[in-house]
Structure 1
């Protein structure tokens, strides 16, 4: 991908360029699924974290778990989750907006003092459309979308995933961007579009 295409992936609907990565090891916890699906989701997260050359941990010293993934059938179920309103500010009006929009997924990020990602909450309402998606595909898609703060329109027109034979895989160019964004030389947070040039330089074919 060239710099312009990368810029689009991190330019939000309001025109702001913003790319942020995790500033601490990721500690996931998954709610609302059977054990087999739990392993699928955690396996996808582990694979994407390894791709980024980032780290996972057993516990987060501040939150215990800092990546919380919720599967459910109705948005209203979130209002019954103990203490979730303390972790996600404005939970009740958010649920009302998502219900009105008939949304089937949403992600909330929290940031540290340097504006790197310190926590994320992934909400997945298993409607008819998502119920038809294989667990492996759904898990990989969510893992990719939570490893970086992408634009809110990044994957509107084209998925981060591709089909290869009988398997769904991460598109190689998206994987390359994830790896590049976690280069320790680059900042954890960037608001200057010139950052996309630095990403592009890291994924350009080497002669």
Structure 2
């Protein structure tokens, strides 16, 4: 992979380069789905974490969990969840903005002192468009977008998934970036554009691919 696409993946709309990966084991918790859907979401998280060569755990020492996934029918449902306003800054203002924009998904990242990802909150409003997407596809797409701090527009016009012979998988270029980003020799966070050169150097001609099934 050329350096250009790698740099664009972490260059934000304001022109700054900002990269971060998880610095601690990932502990997911899911709200708002039926029990039968939980293994689907867990499987997607496990697949992406395995691709990255990272780790999962049963408990985060600070928050209990650190990858929070909320499925709601309406954004107002989040306002009634106990203690969520303590975890999400300015929750009322955020919900008002999401309602106004008619958004159906939102990600909030929190970082530790080293700049590594400390926690991610994934909010998904199951509007008619999102309700038509298979649960395994949503889970895989959202997990890969939470495994790194990508640019806000990294997947505009072209999502992180691809269909190969009727099977949904991560795009090979996306999978290759994820695997390279978790190379132990790479930093957990960087704002230096030269970081993209180091990432590109670690990406081979064939990227690993994680499947949603």
TM-score normalised to structure 1 length: 0.98
Q: Is the contact between residue 51 and residue 179 of structure 2 (CA under 8 Å) also seen in structure 1? A: yes
Q: Does 1:105 align with 2:105?
A: yes
Question: Displacement of 1:12 after TM fit?
Answer: 0.6
User: What per-residue deviation string (whole Å, max 9, x for no partner) do you get for residues 147-197 of structure 1?
Assistant: 000000000121110001221100111111000000110100011111111
User: What per-residue deviation string (whole Å, max 9, x for no partner) do you get for residues 75-128 of structure 1?
Assistant: 011000100000001111000001000000000011001110000100000001
Secondary structure of 2:30's partner?
strand
Aligned to 1:156: 156
The equivalences for 1:34-45 within 5 A come to 34-45=34-45
Question: Displacement of 1:205 after TM fit?
Answer: 3.1
Question: Displacement of 1:36 after TM fit?
Answer: 1.6
Aligned to 2:16: 16
Q: Does 1:204 align with 2:208?
A: no
Q: Does 1:141 align with 2:141?
A: yes
Q: Is the contact between residue 176 and residue 204 of structure 2 (CA under 8 Å) also seen in structure 1? A: no
Distance 1:190 1:43 in 2: 29
Distance 1:30 1:42 in 2: 9
Give the aligned CA root-mean-square deviation in angstroms. 0.9
Q: Any unmatched runs of 5+ in structure 1? A: none
Distance 1:30 1:199 in 2: 32
Distance 2:205 2:103 in 1: 39
User: What per-residue deviation string (whole Å, max 9, x for no partner) do you get for residues 32-65 of structure 1?
Assistant: 0011211101110011001000000000010000
TM-score normalised to structure 2 length: 0.95
Distance 1:156 1:135 in 2: 21
Aligned to 1:176: 176
Secondary structure of 2:107's partner?
strand
Q: Any unmatched runs of 5+ in structure 2? A: 207-213
User: What per-residue deviation string (whole Å, max 9, x for no partner) do you get for residues 11-43 of structure 1?
Assistant: 111111011000100000000001121110111
Q: Does 1:5 align with 2:5?
A: yes
Give the ranges of 4+ consecutive aligned residues of structure 1 lying more than 4 Å apart after TM superposition.
Answer: none
Distance 1:14 1:197 in 2: 20
